[in-house]
Chains A and B, each alone.
Chain A
Amino acid sequence: MEANYTELLAWARGPGFEIALAIFTFGIILRLLEILMLGRKKDYFVARESRFGGGFRTMFSRFFVSGKTLQRSWFIIVVGYAFHLGLFVVLFLFTPHIILIQSSLGLNWPGLPSTLVNTVTIVTLLAMLALLFNRLTHKVTRYLSTLQDYFVWLVVFLPLLTGYMAYNHMGLSYQLMLALHILSVELLMVVFPFTKLMHTFTTFTSRWYTGASAAQRGVNI
């Protein structure tokens, strides 16, 4: 039976991945150009501080939340962090992923033990479920959410789920699970540039612009 999926797996690993990578790469470049080429008008007021320092500062300072903001939004902050950190670990510190990256980019770094990554995957999946629950039940997020929010949730959830199932030999045959895992990642890569997933990159440009303009006004954020 297993042999039936060899072709699918080969396509996913070969042409499928190449197509996805091309759309991912060119899509991101296109989107970043669409944004940055718009430019911004020159400021003529006398600034208190340079844009550079403030822009750079806010790129990092926004990672930290404290005080009343933390109190008011603790759920989304705590669970949001769990999800983002978990995703980072699973994506970049799982040895098979590192080997894949090494084979295409030549970069290499040590991974974490697979059993640990496996546990992190469970945490990440649970965090995603909690975020979905929050999205569906909190009056603000339920109100704000569009089809894209749910679609993007799904295309991030699927690679995590299929990867977890493949690693633990759950559900379908290993070969098919692996093929589905790779295909789900490719779906994620294809939709990435054209959805809010772009915040992976634009968070930094946004923080830069906001921090730079605050610094000009002498506001330290």
Chain B
Amino acid sequence: MAKATFERGYNALKEQIDAPIASFLSSCVHCGMCAEACLFYAETGDPRYTPIRKLEPLRKVWKQEYTLLGKLTSLLGIGKLTDGELAEWKEYVYDSCTLCGRCSLVCPVGNDLVYMIRKTREGLAAAGHAPEGQIEASKRAIKTGSPMGVTLHALNAQIKHVEANTGLSVPLDVQDANYMVLLSSMEIVNFPEYLEAIAKIMHQAGESWTLCSDAFEATNSGIQIGSSDIARELVSRVVNNAEKLNVKVVISPECGHAYSAIRWEGPNLIGRAYKFKVQHILEVLDEFRAANKLKTEGFEESRLTFHDPCQLVRRGGVVQQPRNLLNMVSKNFVEMEEHGIDNWCCGGGGGQSAIEEAEELRTKAFNRKKTQLDQLGVETLVTACANCRIVMEEGLEAYQMDIPIVGLTEMLVEHLVEEGGK
């Protein structure tokens, strides 16, 4: 990485601007509706968190570089972006935005606000104004492959543990498998149940699969911080290894941003299509269900609801699959009032949960999820994102609520029909 300077930041913003952004910025009438859609405005009532305002640095660069009027006024020194302003915007572009994309759904003129916030992060990151927590995570990701510094040793230890527990083998670096499974560090450290669940499900489905020792991490801190260089490097590791192993499908784990990163941004970052397919684990499981390869028995006893990870629904189109799957194992599944593509974020997506100084804001924002849960009176909360899960566990703790959170994949595995595999 080159040294962070204001000039690099300015140029990064300039490079991001395309026809959609110019159209969006030309369209805004300052109606304020995006504020009502934003978790951080909704829970704090602070107008500084209005999504369109978070784009002020981008708007200034666009105006000055790409409009006749802006070029003329900037000759007079009016409306120029400063480094101080970029630094100040860290609070708006990172601390109070999880890239959840709710704002993009309500804008009457049709502006894709979150698309622009993601791009604005490129400018702040290049100018050195990204949050410390995310800078550290990105450095660890480049160096060790994992934003949390999880090494292959840790994974190997977990593989041994899973193999001992299940009596199944966990394939590593196997050529020509149908599926290559990615994990998030959060799963390796906090939720080892996930890998065990995968082993059991793949065994029941009779599918060939593998982990890859050089590319097991799915999350991409380059995308969260807004550094295409880092993001490209991290995506390339997965792509190169998956193509080397000649797998058919790469499975993104229970993580929202990891899916966005590898499914949508990845091919654009490396400038070509992959030679394999990318699916989220829920898409794979739903396909198994439809093909009768996922057989379950019994039902959950508790009343439960599903928290949609933003990147899976609004930004990923994986909406129906978790519902199909939940209905396999629950007769007591209720929906939150706003769910699916209208869901509310957990409050810590898009790398927000890595920002220590934003913890208070995160807890405040969680009040929205708390309210949604209170309305339903559920006993169990199911989700499909390890980051949502950690953030919500902390949120529930802060509000002294006693609701267990379960990953959907592991909940399904609790009900797998045993076929003498153990």
Q: Of the 9-residue stretches B35-43, B84-92, B198-206, B348-356, which lies at the interface with chain A?
A: B35-43
Q: Which of A135, A199, A217 contacts B26 (CB 8 A)?
A: A199
Q: Are B47 and A35 in contact (CB under 8 A)?
A: no
A12-B23 Cα distance, complex, nearest whole Å: 33
A139 contacts which chain B residues (CB < 8 A)?
45, 47
Q: Of the 9-residue stretches B108-116, B179-187, B208-216, which lies at the interface with chain A?
A: B108-116
Q: Are B32 and A144 in contact (CB under 8 A)?
A: yes
B27-60: which residues lie under 8 A (CB-CB) from chain A? 27-33, 35-37, 41, 45, 47-48, 50, 52-53
Q: Are B35 and A206 in contact (CB under 8 A)?
A: no
Q: Are A73 and B317 in contact (CB under 8 A)?
A: no
A207 contacts which chain B residues (CB < 8 A)?
109-110
Q: Which of B110, B266, B318, B337 contacts A206 (CB 8 A)?
A: B110
Q: Are B26 and A198 in contact (CB under 8 A)?
A: yes
Q: Which of B23, B111, B342 contacts A35 (CB 8 A)?
A: B23
Q: Are A206 and B20 in contact (CB under 8 A)?
A: yes
A15 contacts which chain B residues (CB < 8 A)?
none
Per-position binary interface string of chain A over residues 138-153, scored 1 when its CB falls under 8 Å from any chain B CB and 0 otherwise: 1111111110010000
Q: Is A69 an interface residue (CB 8 A)?
A: yes
A72 contacts which chain B residues (CB < 8 A)?
36-37
A218-B52 Cα distance, complex, nearest whole Å: 25
Q: Are A206 and B111 in contact (CB under 8 A)?
A: yes
A207-B20 Cα distance, complex, nearest whole Å: 9
Q: Is B273 an interface residue (CB 8 A)?
A: yes
A24-B106 Cα distance, complex, nearest whole Å: 30
Q: Is A114 an interface residue (CB 8 A)?
A: no
Q: Which of A38, A43, A142, A218 contacts B268 (CB 8 A)?
A: A43
Q: Which of B41, B268, B315 contacts A41 (CB 8 A)?
A: B268
Q: Is B399 an interface residue (CB 8 A)?
A: no
Q: Which of B35, B68, B317, B338 contacts A140 (CB 8 A)?
A: B35
Q: Is B149 an interface residue (CB 8 A)?
A: no
B105 contacts which chain A residues (CB < 8 A)?
69, 221
Interface size class of B (residues with CB under 8 A): 35 or more
Q: Are A199 and B27 in contact (CB under 8 A)?
A: yes
**Residue in B closest to A134 when the chains form the complex, CB atoms:** B32
Q: Are A73 and B18 in contact (CB under 8 A)?
A: no
**Residue in B closest to A38 when the chains form the complex, CB atoms:** B19
B304-353: which residues lie under 8 A (CB-CB) from chain A? 313-319, 337-338, 341-342
Nearest chain B CB to A11 CB, angstrom units: 26
Q: Which of B22, B32, B69 contacts A194 (CB 8 A)?
A: B69
Q: Of the 9-residue stretches A89-97, A170-178, A208-216, which lies at the interface with chain B?
A: A208-216
Q: Are A38 and B22 in contact (CB under 8 A)?
A: yes
B108 contacts which chain A residues (CB < 8 A)?
62, 65, 77, 80, 203
Q: Are A45 and B273 in contact (CB under 8 A)?
A: yes
**Residue in A closest to B21 when the chains form the complex, CB atoms:** A38
Q: Are A210 and B315 in contact (CB under 8 A)?
A: no
> Given the interface contacts A43-B268, A44-B273, does A209 sit within 8 Å of B20 by beta carbon?
yes
Q: Are B20 and A40 in contact (CB under 8 A)?
A: yes
17 A-B pairs whose Cβ atoms sit less than 8 Å apart in the complex? A34-B22, A37-B19, A38-B66, A73-B106, A76-B32, A139-B47, A140-B32, A145-B30, A194-B69, A196-B28, A199-B29, A202-B27, A203-B108, A206-B110, A209-B20, A217-B264, A219-B317
Known: A45-B263, A196-B26. 14 other contacts (CB 8 A): A38-B22, A45-B264, A59-B110, A73-B32, A139-B45, A140-B41, A145-B30, A196-B28, A196-B29, A206-B24, A206-B26, A209-B112, A210-B115, A218-B316
Chain B residues packing against A (C-beta within 8 Å): 17-24, 26-33, 35-37, 41, 45, 47-48, 50, 52-53, 66-69, 104-112, 115, 263-264, 266-268, 270-273, 277, 313-319, 337-338, 341-342
The 6 closest A-B CB pairs, nearest first, are: A218-B317, A207-B110, A44-B267, A143-B47, A140-B32, A209-B20
